[in-house]
Amino acid sequence: MDLTRSTSNPNDAPGFLYAGFNQEYGCFATGLNTGFRVYNCDPLIEQARSESSEGGIALVEMLYRTNYLAFVGGGRNPRFPPNKVIIHDSIKSKAVLELEYKSDVKNVKLRRDRQVFSKRLTVVLVNKVFIYEFGINPKLLYTFETCDNERGLAAVSASQDHAVLIIPGRQKGHLQIVDLDSLGYYWSAVPQRYSESSINSNLNTSTTTIEHDLSSPTTTSSSSTGRATPTANISIIAAHSGKLSCVALNHDGTKCATASDKGTLVRVFNTATGTLLNELRRGMDRAEIYSIAFNHDSTRLCVSSDKGTIHVFNLDPSVVTTTDQKPLPRGPTYGEVVVYPTVPSVKGTGLTQNGNRGSSFSFMKDLLPKYFSSEWSFAHAKIVTENRCIAAFGEEKNTIIAICADGSWYRFLFDPRKGGECTRDSFERFLKNE
C-alpha cells in the first residue's frame, strides 16, 4: 500500500508512507519518514525497527522471514535516492547490494527459488521490469517492457516450486504472465553491455552498484557465455478495458486476480490457460483497490479499497456446501441492493454456484444488464474510519488481518457457512496519530 500515490486522509498516521505483507502474509513491513518497522501479523508484535533522522523509506519488501529487506527511499527527505534499490541485511545492519536506474523505482519483489541459495529480484520501473538472480554480483536474467505502470504493479508466486510473475502488458488493461522457471540460471555474472567500471567486483565489499542504460537490449548477450539465449515463456491476457489498478497471484502461481482503475470488478484467471474463472463485483461506484489476496488453498479471495470495506468472495463451491451438496442459507446482505426471492427454490436461492451473493434474476442474465448476473461478496468487514487499508487471510482459520493507513491493525472473524458481516475480534494501533 503506497500511501504517497493518492490524497491523504486526515486520519492517516503522520509520516506513514508504505505498508506491505511478506510473501506468506505472516508479517508486514512499514515505510516511514524516519525509517522502517517490521511486525508479526497475528499476534501483532513488533519484530524490528530502524528509525533515525537519516530520512524516509517509501517501500519495504521482505523476503519471507529472512534477514533480507529491499528498500526504496521516499518521503519529504528520502534516505536513499528514489531511483535506487537497496538490499539490506538486518543481521549485518548494512546494505549488501545497490542497483541504480535512470528513473524512479516503482516496486520491488523478492522470492526464493527451489535451489537453496537461489533468490530472484524483480525491479519495476514505470515502463520496464528487470529480473535478476542476485548475490554479490547480480545476474540480469531478463528485461520486460510494459505500458505506463505508475503504480508499480507486479506480483510473484510465493511457492518455491513454481515461479510465476505477473506484470502489466504493453497495452492498457493487458496482463503479462511470465514463467520465471523458463529464464534459466546460467547467465554470466557481468552482462556484456555493462561497463566494467560500473560494477564493484571487490569481494571484500558487500555493495554492488549497477547503472542500467534503459536503451539497452532486453536480454543479456549470449556471446559472452557461449550459450543460447532462452526465450521467456510469456502469456498475455486482455483482463480489462481500462488500466489495471491491482494484481495478485495465489501461492503456487496457478491463479491470478486483477482489478481495473474503475474498481468495480475483480477477475480471476487460470495462469496456465488464460481462462476466466471468476468475475466478482466489489460494487457499482468507482473505488481504488489497494489489495487483493488469495487464501492459502485458493478457495477464497479478499479485496480492500479506499472505501474502508473489505470484501470476501468464495471461489470454490466446495467451501460452501454441506455433505449432501445442498446450498447453505446466507446471512444478511450488504451494500448495493440485491433482490432475493421470498420463498427459496432450487433455482432462486439468491446465491451463485460458488456461494457468493447474487440476484434472483440471474436466470435472465441474457436479457438484463450484466449487473444482475454479478457475483457479490460472500462476507464483508468495515473499517471504522473508512480509511485505506490492505488485507489478507490470517493464519487462524476464518480470520482476516487488515493494516490501515491510520496506523491501526484489525483482526476480523467471518462465518464460513453464513457469511454476512464479519465480527471485529481484535484491534490495536501500531502507529499512533500524535
**Which has the higher per-residue pLDDT, 192 or 274?**
274
Check residue 187 and give its pLDDT: 36
Tell me the mean pLDDT in the region 57-85. 95
| Percent of the chain at pLDDT exceeding 90 | 59
Average pLDDT, the chain: 80
Check residue 357 and give its pLDDT: 80
Residue type, 22: N
Give the pLDDT confidence of 177-209 residue by residue, as tens digits. Answer: 999 888 754 333 333 332 222 223 222 334 444
Confidence band of 273 (pLDDT split at 50, 70, 90): very high
Confidence band of 373 (pLDDT split at 50, 70, 90): low
pLDDT exceeds 70 at position 271: yes
Q: Distance (Å, rounded) from C-alpha 57 to C-alpha 43?
A: 25
Check residue 199 and give its pLDDT: 27
Q: Distance (Å, rounded) from C-alpha 189 to C-alpha 4?
A: 35
Strand partners, 246: 259
pLDDT exceeds 70 at position 123: yes
Q: Distance (Å, rounded) from C-alpha 210 to C-alpha 4?
A: 27
Give the pLDDT confidence of 15-60 residue by residue, as tens digits. Answer: 999 999 999 999 999 999 999 999 999 999 999 999 999 999 999 9
pLDDT exceeds 60 at position 292: yes
| Percent of the chain at pLDDT exceeding 70 | 75
The structure's pTM equals 0.82
Check residue 286 and give its pLDDT: 86
71-75, 108-112, 290-294, 344-348: least confidently modelled range: 344-348
Q: Distance (Å, rounded) from C-alpha 136 to C-alpha 138?
A: 6
pLDDT exceeds 50 at position 362: no
Strand partners, 429: 408
Q: What SS3 state is found at 182?
A: helix
The three cell numbers of residue 201 are: 567486483
The three cell numbers of residue 165 are: 510473475
Q: Distance (Å, rounded) from C-alpha 224 to C-alpha 190?
A: 9
Q: What is the layout of strands, in order, in the sheet containing 107-112? A: 107-112, 119-124, 128-133, 139-145
Check residue 183 and give its pLDDT: 75
Give the pLDDT confidence of 321-360 residue by residue, as tens digits. Answer: 543 344 444 433 333 333 333 333 334 445 677 778 875 4
DSSP H/E element including 98: strand 94-100
